[in-house]
Amino acid sequence: MDTKKVYIESYGCQMNFSDSEIVASILAKEGYEPVTSVDGADLVLLNTCSIRDKAEQTVLNRIDGLNHLKVKHPAMKVGVLGCMAERMREELIERKHLVDLVVGPDAYRSLPELLEDLGSGQKAVNVLLSRDETYADIERVRLGSNGVSAFITIMRGCDNMCAFCVVPFTRGRERSRDPKTIVEEARKLFQDGIREVTLLGQNVDSYRWNVDSRGNVKDTNEAVVDFADLLGLVADVSPQLRVRFSTSHPKDMTDKVLRTMAARPNICKYIHLPVQSGSSEVLQRMNRGYDRAWYKERIDAIRRHMPDCAISTDIIAGFCGESEDDHRSTLGLMDEVRYDMAYMFKYSERPKTLAARKYPDDVPEVDKGRRLQEIIDLQMQHAGERNQRHVGQVQEVLIEGTSKRSQDHLFGRNTYNAVVIVPRFQGAEELKPGQYIQARIISATSGSLQGDPVGIGMEPARRSPEPVSI
């Protein structure tokens, strides 16, 4: 078979980066080899994101930018995958003459036939969403792996209808992946040297295997597995394998998950719990399914089970109808929680969403910008303060690679997901990616920690975890 070259560029969330590995795997069987530059590629695929208008504009500009390559290599094909393929199929096909192929997130198995259709000069499109596709059986080709950490998709789609969010439209109905294939993937990754896996889903707390949409058990001979059970099963692969996950949803996060985390040293003490707003009225309009008091209670529950757990969040500034008082409630909530980290955005109206249909996008752009800046400034302050708490502690760090700033330093992460910079050598020994070390934290900024290695390997006291029965 002739080898052809495919270049895949991924935008958006980790789910998309993970999907690109599924695509690479499907294409490998068709003789496509992944390459790291567009130059000389036979097929260029953009795996795209629709979450905010800016994300889409970036990709539309990128498509135009590919024009000169197409002039040079007329045989080169350009495909759009992912969320924009789903949301903007007509525009992409009609207006963007450069686009030959449009494939939605649930249709990647049809890529071989679509590529064949392209051969006959037609444009090829498949944006069908599925109720059961999880690509469970596809062995991922790891793209751009650092050899230390990897993502594992445990579910797809989303059944929540947050008023601002396009994801349910682009990714379809929620479905969970067979836990056996998840554990198998984790085991294989561990054998290949991976030491940290992140379990991915839009709302991991609603992971449920062997239960139908009405809550009834589907197969009585098989176990029902919820997210806490799944976490335990993946943590059982090895005490040397760190387990992370994203994203938790405040309305669904259970104490059972928190107990499982607390009981397992290798489940990282870090939870991403997007709040979106600190105002109960805004949360109601956002259709998030919780209010401020409920959210605060979930934060308290995390701190009851794991007093040291790091917490991060997502915040949207300037959602429809947000008043100055609502905005101050968000700042007030941030003061109460003191997040270790946050992703912060200006509200961007998305076509067809509940908010676009029901509420005017009425916060003036200048106010959105100012509110966002106030949120960012406060978060910087909190992150700096939170990082100071590590100083003086000896922490376990999993080394990931060379520091961006200096060849003489490596970087890794502690269990709290904070980046720790350490010197490359401990005495005569050179530290290596994939190694666990013990490091004394000597200083901190809002972005990272400086560590001094005091020992190599895991903490000796680290015992094998108790198996979770399911």
For ligand F3S, the binding residues (CB under 6 A) are 12-13, 15-16, 49-51, 82-83, 166-167, 170-171
The reply on whether position 81 binds ligand SAH by CB under 6 A is no
Q: Are strands 409-413 and 419-423 parallel, antiparallel or unpaired?
A: antiparallel
The reply on whether position 345 binds ligand SAH by CB under 6 A is yes
b/e sequence 213-247, b meaning 16+ C-beta within 10 Å? eeeeeeeeeeeebbbbbbbbbbbbbbeebbbbbbb
Check: CB of residue 60 under 8 Å from CB of residue 29: no
Binder to ligand SF4 among 16, 110, 130, 160 (CB under 6 A)?
160
Site for ligand SF4 in 196-225 (CB under 6 A): 202-203
Exposed, middle or buried by CB within 10 Å (0-12, 13-18, 19+), for 164? buried
Q: Are strands 4-10 and 32-35 parallel, antiparallel or unpaired?
A: parallel
Piece in contact with ligand SF4 (CB under 6 A), picked from 165-173, 238-246, 368-376, 453-461: 165-173
50 binds, among ligand SF4, ligand F3S, ligand SAH, none (CB under 5 to 8 A by kind): ligand F3S
Binder to ligand SF4 among 63, 162, 235, 397 (CB under 6 A)?
162
451 binds, among ligand SAH, ligand SF4, ligand F3S, none (CB under 5 to 8 A by kind): none
In the chain, the N- to C-terminal Cα span, in Å, equals: 46
**Closest CA relative to residue 48, chosen from 37, 61, 38:** 61
Distance of alpha carbon 21 from alpha carbon 235, whole angstroms: 23
The reply on whether position 372 binds ligand SAH by CB under 6 A is no
Distance of alpha carbon 68 from alpha carbon 46, whole angstroms: 16
Omega cis (within 30) before 247: yes
Residue at 341: amino acid letter: M
Site for ligand SAH in 146-165 (CB under 6 A): 164-165
Which strands form 341-346's sheet, in the order they lie side by side?
A: 270-272, 310-317, 341-346
Piece in contact with ligand SAH (CB under 6 A), picked from 255-263, 290-298, 340-348, 385-393: 340-348
Binder to ligand SF4 among 167, 186, 228, 268 (CB under 6 A)?
167
Residue at 385: amino acid letter: E
Distance of alpha carbon 281 from alpha carbon 163, whole angstroms: 13
170 binds, among ligand SAH, ligand SF4, ligand F3S, none (CB under 5 to 8 A by kind): ligand F3S
Cβ of residue 249: shortest distance to ligand SF4, in angstroms? Answer: 6
Cβ of residue 155: shortest distance to ligand F3S, in angstroms? Answer: 12
Distance of alpha carbon 251 from alpha carbon 354, whole angstroms: 19
Cβ of residue 321: shortest distance to ligand F3S, in angstroms? Answer: 24
Cβ of residue 247: shortest distance to ligand SAH, in angstroms? Answer: 4
Q: Are strands 4-10 and 43-48 parallel, antiparallel or unpaired?
A: parallel
Cβ of residue 316: shortest distance to ligand SF4, in angstroms? Answer: 10
Instruction: Please say which residue, 265 or 274, places its beta carbon nearer to ligand F3S.
Output: 274
Cβ neighbours of residue 114 closer than 8 Å, sequence gap 6 or more: 101, 103, 124, 125, 126
Instruction: Please say which residue, 242 or 272, places its beta carbon nearer to ligand F3S.
Output: 272
The residue of the chain with the least Cβ separation from ligand F3S equals 12
Binder to ligand SAH among 347, 411, 416, 436 (CB under 6 A)?
347
For helices 292-305 and 324-337, give the axis angle rounded to 10 degrees. Answer: 10
Check: CB of residue 129 under 8 Å from CB of residue 173: yes
Distance of alpha carbon 254 from alpha carbon 251, whole angstroms: 9
Instruction: Please say which residue, 299 or 439, places its beta carbon nearer to ligand SAH.
Output: 299
Piece in contact with ligand SF4 (CB under 6 A), picked from 160-168, 175-183, 208-216, 375-383: 160-168
Q: Are strands 449-456 and 419-423 parallel, antiparallel or unpaired?
A: parallel
Cβ of residue 299: shortest distance to ligand SAH, in angstroms? Answer: 15
Binder to ligand SAH among 50, 198, 206, 247 (CB under 6 A)?
247
The reply on whether position 165 binds ligand SF4 by CB under 6 A is yes
Instruction: Please say which residue, 52 or 96, places its beta carbon nearer to ligand SF4.
Output: 52
Instruction: List residues binding ligand SAH (CB under 6 A).
Output: 51-52, 164-165, 167, 202-203, 247, 249, 274, 276, 314, 316, 345, 347-348, 350
Please give the residue ranges that form the binding site for ligand SF4 (CB under 6 A): 158, 160, 162, 165, 167-168, 202-203, 249
